[in-house]
Structure 1
């Protein structure tokens, strides 16, 4: 057993080191201006789907996928969550092409080396995106990464028809590690678009350090069976209640975070939040239940955004754990 573990470390060590360097290269290349981020999409990929582009939508929704995202098209579930949201809420304009794990907005499948790896060592594609999450969470690179991807999102929104200062809400729906990018994009989107921002995280894996001052609210969709999201609350100190000055804990004290449980869904697998096969007692699939929840939250938010209210923000739907707990 010891020999096997040593062999794995010997094989993975150089790979992890290489991935760590490549992940940092993109954000540094963006910051130094060595490369220009991609803005154009393939001809068959629209800048947005859903609501009629000739009329203002109720809201713009930007979907930030998990670590399976490697192309402009939706990948993790074949785009089923996005399709379900569009079908159930035709009043929304939905963007699914943002590359949350590339500050240069450069899909992995368009790079010759990575295309070869996809066919031969596919796990490296996921490892690359995992490393990007930790670069985005690293205090040394986080401001640069946030600015890069926030600018990418703002640019794609403009190309999809969004007008700064229009008053139309922007919803950032993120899956897993996409939550790190979504929370990091808040400041740049506020600065560039002055938009009302709603965040919805689905099994969100993030470090809790990003400032959420300019987000109106964050809905945390989770499950008691989602161990991956729970690991994120353990390994990042900024998610611990002890660190009261972190962005996450300041938002919690401002009643900006509401948890909704989608039990018994899991993070990945046949019973995941976006599973088309696992069924609820009422006959809906898990992906349809998730889409219905997202749509209901957005519609309620848009209703409040149109009619300013003096009522306090809703409290968390889950009881507070002891002060020593993490969340």
Structure 2
């Protein structure tokens, strides 16, 4: 009976996985061929950045790249609580949360008519779409195109949010789960377009380690012993193994560009996740507060407030 049930599951989900694999590749190929232009406009009354006022340079621009739950411009994984906490605790930052890490064309998944229909009838398909996009972004055949597409999307959103290329104001890429694949891949394109100091912070990052992050000043890996999803990424991607010394990840390790910060006893998802407002630590803070405090402390430790009209001090 169990074998029959598994067979039915495979028969049912197999075509869905195949369709998603093909659709995930379509966007990056459409971008490369110039068939469709990436979107740049946001919904009415939605700002390109929140936090520090646009009339003077902020200490840094922080771009939040959400995990596979990202389906619209608004932050979806936690209802925007992490971004809101960062803005409240660090008013010197300008924060962008609208980037679509799983769309090379920058089109929100939930706004497409076919996906609205599917969401009401087969929500699993939405989940699988973004999962497949991670593997497309990690595939050596598509990775350069995907990295250029999303890196350019981030650069465009930063310019629209007031960033001046060459200003010297730091850009921090904060990524959750699969967003780390996109963040590490965007480094080269962002450097090429903006010439900005770049920091990467991964939170439970799921990424293959193939991307060259030598242009980044540093990568902070926020993790926890109970985060089995992040561990899975380290197991299934050979470029994260020490054996592959020439991979982007291992070159960064040898260059001293990687710092690991433990956020135990947090988990990847669930009531004890990194961004849980309910789970409490012995000091009384929630997991969400501890994560936000850690990110802000890392930024403040490395970034000095910018002088008006010039680079950071």
- Shorter-chain TM range is over 0.9
The answer as to 2:187 corresponding to 1:186 is yes
TM-score of the superposed pair, with normalisation by structure 2: 0.97
Aligned pairs for 1:170-181 (under 5 A) are 170-181=171-182
The answer for unaligned runs of 5 or more in structure 2 is 306-310
- Counterpart of 1:249 in structure 2 is 250
- Counterpart of 1:7 in structure 2 is 8
CA contact (8 A) 1:225 1:265 kept: yes
- 1:10-55 deviation line (CA, Å, top 9, x unaligned): 1111000000000000000000000011000001211000001000
- 1:42-96 deviation line (CA, Å, top 9, x unaligned): 0121100000100000000000000000000110000000000000000000000
Further displaced range: 59-68 or 274-283:
274-283
- Counterpart of 1:137 in structure 2 is 138
CA contact (8 A) 2:199 2:216 kept: yes
CA contact (8 A) 1:199 1:219 kept: yes
Cα deviation, residue 4, structure 1: 1.3
Cα deviation, residue 7, structure 1: 1.0
- 1:228-262 deviation line (CA, Å, top 9, x unaligned): 00000000000000000000000000000000000
SS in structure 1 of the partner of residue 303 of structure 2 = helix
Distance between the aligned counterparts of 2:62 and 2:36, measured in 1? Answer: 28
- Counterpart of 1:82 in structure 2 is 83
The answer as to 2:109 corresponding to 1:108 is yes
- Counterpart of 2:51 in structure 1 is 50
SS in structure 2 of the partner of residue 28 of structure 1 = helix
The answer for unaligned runs of 5 or more in structure 1 is 308-327
Distance between the aligned counterparts of 1:125 and 1:215, measured in 2? Answer: 32
- Counterpart of 1:323 in structure 2 is none
SS in structure 2 of the partner of residue 260 of structure 1 = strand
Distance between the aligned counterparts of 1:306 and 1:132, measured in 2? Answer: 36
TM-score of the superposed pair, with normalisation by structure 1: 0.93
- Counterpart of 1:28 in structure 2 is 29
Distance between the aligned counterparts of 1:136 and 1:45, measured in 2? Answer: 28
Cα deviation, residue 6, structure 1: 1.1
- Counterpart of 1:228 in structure 2 is 229
Distance between the aligned counterparts of 1:289 and 1:126, measured in 2? Answer: 28
CA contact (8 A) 1:45 1:72 kept: no
SS in structure 2 of the partner of residue 199 of structure 1 = strand
CA contact (8 A) 1:45 1:73 kept: no
CA contact (8 A) 1:169 1:197 kept: yes
CA contact (8 A) 1:220 1:259 kept: yes
Aligned pairs for 1:241-280 (under 5 A) are 241-280=242-281
CA contact (8 A) 2:151 2:189 kept: yes
- 1:250-295 deviation line (CA, Å, top 9, x unaligned): 0000000000000000000000000011011111111011000000
Cα deviation, residue 124, structure 1: 1.1
SS in structure 2 of the partner of residue 198 of structure 1 = strand
- Counterpart of 1:313 in structure 2 is none
Cα deviation, residue 300, structure 1: 0.5
- Counterpart of 1:204 in structure 2 is 205
Moved runs in structure 1, 4+ residues, more than 4 A? 304-307
- CA separation of 1:44/1:306 partners in 2, compared to 1, >3 Å: closer, same or farther? closer
CA RMSD of aligned residues (A): 1.1
Cα deviation, residue 306, structure 1: 4.7
CA contact (8 A) 2:61 2:93 kept: yes
Distance between the aligned counterparts of 1:104 and 1:306, measured in 2? Answer: 32
CA contact (8 A) 1:177 1:206 kept: yes
Further displaced range: 268-277 or 3-12:
3-12
